[in-house]
Structure 1
Amino acid sequence: MPKALHHKRSSSAASPYSKPAAKAQSNAIFKMNTDIGQHVLKNPGVAQAIVDKADLKQSDIVLEVGPGSGNLTVRILEKAKKCIAVELDPRMAAEVTKRVQGTPAGKRLDVVLGDVIKTDLPYFDVCISNTPYQISSPLTFKLLATAPAPRVCILMFQREFALRLFAKPGDKLYSRLSVNAQMWAKIDHIMKVGKNNFKPPPAVESSVVRMVPKNPRPNISYEEWDGLLRICFVRKNKMLRANFLGTTSVMQLLENNYRTYCAQNDIALDDGPMETTNGVDALMEIENHNGEKDAWNGFNGEVDDDNNDETMDLDDEDDDLPAFFKEESKLKLLKGANRKKKGKVHELVREKVRSILEDKTQLADKRARMCDEGDFLKLLYLFNQEGIHFT
C-alpha cells in the first residue's frame, strides 16, 4: 500500500507568534492621532530637562496637559507630591495609568479624561505641558486666568507661537498675543526642541517657554485691555490714528459704548444733529480720515494689513458730461452725504479720541507694532477717564 503524501509546512504559514502579526498588532494599538496633536516626546534627555526647569518641590501639585504615554509624567511623580494629568484620548489615559499602576507613584497620579479647555481645573502649583498645538492660545490664557495663579508654567509650543509670546516692540512677530501675555506674566525662552525628538515627528519645530504669572495681577479689566488691543492691532502696521479715527465702525462702536456709559452714570447728552454750512461738512463725511480703509470687522474679525482703499474723488468729473447730469450727480452726492452725517455725540466722541491720540499721548502717528506696554496702558487710562470703554 503506498504511503500517504505529507505536505511540508511552509515557513511563511500564519502564526500568532510570527513577527509580522505582532508588529501589526502593536501599530494598531499605539497609532497616534495627529489630528488632536498627538506627538509623543521620546527623547528622555529633553523630558528630564523640562521637568528640571520647573524646579519642583516635594509639596507641589503639578498639572500636566496631554501626558501621552507618560514620559514626562513618571519624571514629575519622582519629584512632586501629586500629578493631575488631563488627557483627551482614552487610550493614552489608560496607557499612562497602566505605566505607574502597582507602584507607589500610582497613588499620586490623578488622570482626568476630557478637554482641558472645557474642564474645571482643580488647584495646582505648577503646570508642565507638551501642548497640542491646536490649543496653544486658549490654554495659555486659561492658565493666566486661573485663580489662584500657578507659581510657574513650563510649556512646549510650536516655535513660531513661542516667538510671538515673548516678542518685543518692533519685532516682526510682535502682536496682540505678545502684549496680552506679557501684561499678565513674565515669559522666557528655555530651549529649542527639534521635530525628531517626537514620535511621530511634527511638521514644525518646537520651543519650551517658562511663564511666571505676575503676582499680584495687574489691576485692570482684561476685557477692557483686550478690547483696546484688538482695535490697535486690527492693522498693526497702520498708524493708530487710522485704526481709530479712520475706521467708521470703530468710531461707531466707541460712540455706542459712550452712550451706554452716560446712560449708566446719568450724564445728559445733546443728541442733536450737527449744523452744516452749504453742505461742506456733510461732503467731508463721505471719506474716512486720511482715506484709510474701514477694515474693522468687530472684536473677532481678521483684517489684511496690505489691503488698500479705493477712495472717491469728488473733483474728478468728465468735461463732456452735460450740465444737467453734472448738477444731478452733485445732488446725489449731497443726499448720500447727509445720510452719513453724524450727530453731536459722534463729534464729541471723535474729538475725545483725537485729543487723546494727538494731544495727550502723541501716539496718533505711531504704529501699534512699535508701542510698548506702557503706551497701551496710558491709552486705556485716558480713554476710561473720558468715559470711553471697550467692552
Structure 2
Amino acid sequence: MPKVKSEKKSRIHNAVAKQGIMFNKSFGQHILKNPLIITSMIEKSALRPTDTVLEIGPGTGNMTMKLLEQVKQVVACEIDPRLVAELQKRVQSTPYRQKLQIMIGDVLKTELPFFSVCVANIPYQISSPLVFKLLLHRPFFRCAVLMFQKEFAERLVAKPGDKLYCRLSINTQLLARVDMLMKVGKNNFRPPPKVESAVVRIEPRNPPPPIAYTEWDGLTRIAFARKNKTLGSAFRQSVVLATLEKNYALHCSLHDKSVPEGFKMKEKVEEILAKTEFEQKRARVMDIDDFMVLLHAFNSEGVHFS
C-alpha cells in the first residue's frame, strides 16, 4: 500500500494541535498561513516605528509577530482564551513581550484604546458592524488594512450604478476612502473558508463631513431598502411615513412649535421630493452629493431621520 504523504504544517500550528486546540468556526477562525500575504498587508499599511497597531483576531500570532518587529506597540483583541494563551507563550521569551498588549473579549463589545493603524484578518461575520465601529472611533486612526470576504469587500468599493452598490457602499465611502488592494484565495487559510477573500485599505476622512451621521444613516436606510424602486415609492411606505411623522412631532416639540393643523407627512415628503427633483431617482444610481442635497432639503423642512 503506497505511503500517504502527510500534510505539512507550520511549527506554530503543530504546537497548537499538540495542545488539542481546534479552530472554532463559530468565531470565524480561519488562520492566514501565507507569509507573503501577511507581508504584503503590512507593507500596504505603511507602518512607522512610532505606531500603535490594533490587530483584531490575532489567532496564533503569525501576523502579530511581524507587526511587533516594526512598531512601538501592538494591541491584539482576541475572543478565544486558548489562542490568547498560545500568543502569550509565543512572545514570552522574545524581546517583543513588552510591546504586546492583549485584550480578551468580543471586539464589538470592547472599548477600543488609542491606535494609529489597524491591520487584521477579521472574523467575516462581524465585518459590517466592525467597519462602522472603527470609522466612528475617536481619535482618528490613520488607516486600516483589513481582510474581508470578497463580496463584502466589493460592496465596500462599489460605485453608483454597480450591481453591488448598496447602503454599505455609500455609508462607508461617506466616512472614508476605500481601496481594493488584492484578492486572496481560500487555500491561503487553515482551515480553508468556503468563500474567497480580499484585502481592503480604509482611510478615514479627517475631518469628517459636516453632517449628523445618524440622520444620514436613517435616510440611506429608507432609500436602499428598495434600491431599484424610485424614492417616491420608497417614501410612500406607511411605516416610513409613520416614523417621519413621529420624528417631526418631536422636532416641533423640542423647538417650541406646534404641528400645523391638517399637517400630512405624505404631502410634505412629496413636496420635498418634487422640489429637489428626486422623486423618480433610484438609490442605486445616486452618489454622496445627491444624498447630501436630499438630506439638507428634508432637514430644512423639519423632517428628520433620527
- In the superposition, the TM-score normalised over structure 2's length comes to 0.93
Whole-Å separation in 2 of the counterparts to 1:135 and 1:146: 16
* AA partner of residue 353 (structure 1): V
1:248 to partner: Cα distance: 1.6
1:264 to partner: Cα distance: 1.4
Is 1:249–2:239 an aligned residue pair?
A: yes
Q: Which residue of 2 aligns with 1:315?
A: none
Corresponding residue to 2:263 among 345, 348, 355: 345
1:37 to partner: Cα distance: 0.4
Corresponding residue to 2:289 among 374, 379, 382: 374
CA deviation vs aligned residue, 1:88-113 (integer Å, no higher than 9, x gap): 01111111111111211111011111
CA deviation vs aligned residue, 1:114-149 (integer Å, no higher than 9, x gap): 111101111110001101011101110000011011
Q: Which residue of 2 aligns with 1:259?
A: 249
1:27 to partner: Cα distance: 5.8
Q: Which residue of 2 aligns with 1:365?
A: 280
CA contact (8 A) 1:255 1:345 kept: no
Whole-Å separation in 1 of the counterparts to 2:105 and 2:242: 41
Corresponding residue to 2:231 among 234, 240, 250: 240
Gap runs ≥5 in structure 1: 1-22, 272-343
1:353 to partner: Cα distance: 1.4
Gap runs ≥5 in structure 2: 1-13
1:363 to partner: Cα distance: 1.1
Whole-Å separation in 2 of the counterparts to 1:149 and 1:61: 13
* AA partner of residue 155 (structure 1): L
Q: CA RMSD in A?
A: 1.5
CA contact (8 A) 2:108 2:133 kept: yes
* Identical positions, percent: 52
Q: Which residue of 2 aligns with 1:316?
A: none
1:374 to partner: Cα distance: 0.7
Corresponding residue to 2:271 among 331, 340, 355: 355
Show the 5 A alignment for 1:167-206: 167-206=158-197
1:270 to partner: Cα distance: 3.7
SS at 1:78 equivalent: helix
CA deviation vs aligned residue, 1:168-224 (integer Å, no higher than 9, x gap): 001111111111000000000001010000000000000000000000011111111
CA deviation vs aligned residue, 1:272-311 (integer Å, no higher than 9, x gap): xxxxxxxxxxxxxxxxxxxxxxxxxxxxxxxxxxxxxxxx
- In the superposition, the TM-score normalised over structure 1's length comes to 0.73
Structure showing greater Rg: 1
Q: Which residue of 2 aligns with 1:74?
A: 65
User: How many aligned residue pairs are there?
Assistant: 293
1:28 to partner: Cα distance: 5.9
With over 3 angstroms needed to count, the CA separation of the structure-2 counterparts of 1:29 and 1:385, relative to structure 1, is: same
CA deviation vs aligned residue, 1:16-65 (integer Å, no higher than 9, x gap): xxxxxxx9993662311111100000101111111111110000000000
SS at 1:30 equivalent: coil
